[in-house]
């Protein structure tokens, strides 16, 4: 006769107690850890404020049926995804997802009321909100946005940045949760630049103007995100890692690290403890780059597990964590759930690790024991603890969640024509 989830968990809890880990405490910490789920997985980064193509060096591939076409459909799909993910989280929005109550207007004059539908959505479900200015997929971003050499175009994007801070402030006040306002611009050049410092100086000066917009720094955490390259800007990206981190440090804002935005052998997990020596908080977009930044759905791979370990070791309250990927080749709701659940599994593994003991082994140069203990942890019954997490948070376990996602596909997604 098969053991119940509770019985299997009690056995697992006893085994973890033998190595000095409190599994109940780990479950509570995991349930309290908020992940900001990106809205753009549900509609392939299309948004609702324009009719043009996706631009800015990013690309969604695939044509799986059931893409959300309206705000209501996107909210419905997000609801289904959240029903498969344990805990209460946040929803991350781009400015291009405005739902204009009185007709469209341009990005330099967006207002909090343009996101009132999303604010109501979050408040009704106890979710937090994060926000991103959208510096791509717009006719005025064809030759760059916030670093544009044309002063009038640059001014347009500065106003968009200021408006985005106002929207973020309204979101934080409405939900009672801090809002990360993340600035990422795809500005760059396809081929070798004649001037590298000029665009970066303009980016710096533009951001200085944006930051003059009044806001409560305990409610709105302005973040700056880097990138190595994108499609069409392969040779030079204005917002490099060195630029964004130096700017964030000098202006007292938050650096945001996307683990798809670096060289494939450059690990964000290694950057987290370095930056947290100098920043009170950092922000993360967790994704899966394949060779280069390709924004694949998260797997429970070594880098995601290492990122989770550093979050736990360095302080979970010091990291704003979110996901960022878009895959149109598979069921989009399942993609949301897969990535978020895998991030949570990585966090659970980290929370079930006796970090103090392992740290002591390293400090005492007992490397044989450290090696052996790290390997032994891989065989611990984390799966039984995970099933209890699903049970406690009221979401389906590993044998059931996919069936729910596929039933939703059959009953809802495939009926969209």
Q: Which residue has the tokens 């479950």?
A: 27
Q: Are 283 and 320 in contact (CB under 8 A)?
A: yes
What is the phi/psi pair of residue 278, to 5°? -120, -15
**DSSP helix/strand/coil, 292:** strand
Q: Give Cα 51 to chain centroid, integer Å.
A: 25
Sign of CA dihedral 257, 260, 263, 268: positive
Strands 90-94 and 35-38, sheet pairing: parallel
Helix (H), strand (E) at residue 264:
none
Which of 200, 307, 195 is closest to 243 using CA atoms?
200
**DSSP helix/strand/coil, 286:** strand
Sign of CA dihedral 262, 266, 270, 275: negative
Catalytic residues: 184, 225, 227, 258, 261, 285, 293, 295, 324
Query: Residue 320 pairs with which residues in a beta bridge?
Result: 283
DSSP designation for 144: B
Distances 241 to 246, 273, 278, 363, 387 between C-alpha atoms, Å: 8, 16, 15, 31, 39
DSSP string, 26-64: HHHHHHH--EEEEGGGTTTT--SS--S---SS-------
What is the phi/psi pair of residue 296, to 5°? -80, 155
d(CA 324, CA 180): 14
Helix (H), strand (E) at residue 374:
helix 367-377
Buried b (16+ CB within 10 A) or exposed e, 117-151: bbbebbeeeebbbbbbbbbbbbebbeebbbbbeee
DSSP string, 73-84: HHHHHHHHHHTT
Is residue 59 left, alpha or beta, with left meaning phi > 0 and alpha meaning psi from -120 to 50?
A: beta
Q: Which residue has the tokens 């009704």?
A: 124
């Amino acid at each position: 006769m098969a053991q119940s989830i509770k019985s299997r968990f009690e056995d697992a809890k006893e085994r973890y107690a033998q190595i000095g880990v409190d599994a109940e405490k780990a479950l509570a910490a995991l349930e309290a850890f908020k992940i900001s789920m990106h809205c753009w997985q549900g509609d392939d980064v299309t948004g609702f404020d324009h009719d043009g193509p996706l631009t800015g060096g990013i690309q969604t591939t695939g044509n799986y049926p059931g893409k959300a076409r309206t705000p209501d459909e996107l909210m419905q799909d997000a609801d289904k995804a959240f029903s498969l993910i344990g805990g209460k989280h946040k929803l991350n929005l781009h400015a291009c997802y405005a739902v204009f109550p009185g007709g469209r207007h341009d990005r330099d004059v967006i207002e909090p009321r343009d996101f009132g539908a999303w604010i109501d959505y979050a408040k009704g479900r106890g979710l937090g909100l994060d926000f991103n200015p959208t510096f791509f997929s717009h006719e005025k971003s064809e030759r760059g946005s916030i670093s544009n050499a044309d002063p009038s175009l640059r001014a347009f994007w500065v106003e968009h940045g200021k408006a985005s801070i106002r929207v973020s402030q309204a979101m934080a006040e409405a939900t009672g949760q801090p809002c990360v306002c993340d600035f990422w611009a795809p500005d760059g050049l396809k081929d070798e630049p004649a001037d590298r410092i000029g665009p970066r100086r303009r980016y710096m000066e533009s951001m200085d103007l944006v930051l003059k917009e009044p806001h409560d720094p305990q409610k709105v955490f302005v973040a700056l995100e880097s990138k190595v390259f994108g499609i069409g800007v392969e040779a030079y990206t204005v917002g490099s890692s060195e630029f964004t981190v130096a700017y964030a440090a000098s202006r007292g804002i938050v650096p945001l690290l996307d683990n798809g935005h670096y060289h494939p052998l450059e690990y964000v997990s290694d950057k987290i403890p370095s930056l947290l020596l100098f920043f009170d908080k950092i922000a993360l977009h967790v994704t899966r780059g394949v060779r280069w930044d390709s924004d694949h759905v998260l797997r429970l791979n070594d880098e995601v597990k290492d990122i989770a370990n550093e979050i736990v070791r360095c302080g979970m309250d010091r990291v704003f964590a979110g996901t960022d990927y878009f895959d149109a080749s598979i069921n989009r709701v399942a993609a949301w759930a897969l990535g978020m659940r895998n991030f949570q599994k990585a966090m659970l593994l980290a929370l079930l690790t006796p970090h103090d003991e392992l740290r002591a082994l390293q400090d005492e140069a007992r490397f044989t024991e450290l090696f052996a203990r790290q390997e032994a942890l891989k065989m611990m019954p984390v799966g039984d603890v995970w099933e209890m997490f699903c049970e406690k948070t009221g979401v389906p376990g590993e044998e059931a969640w996919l069936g729910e996602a596929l039933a939703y596909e059959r009953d809802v997604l495939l009926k969209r024509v």
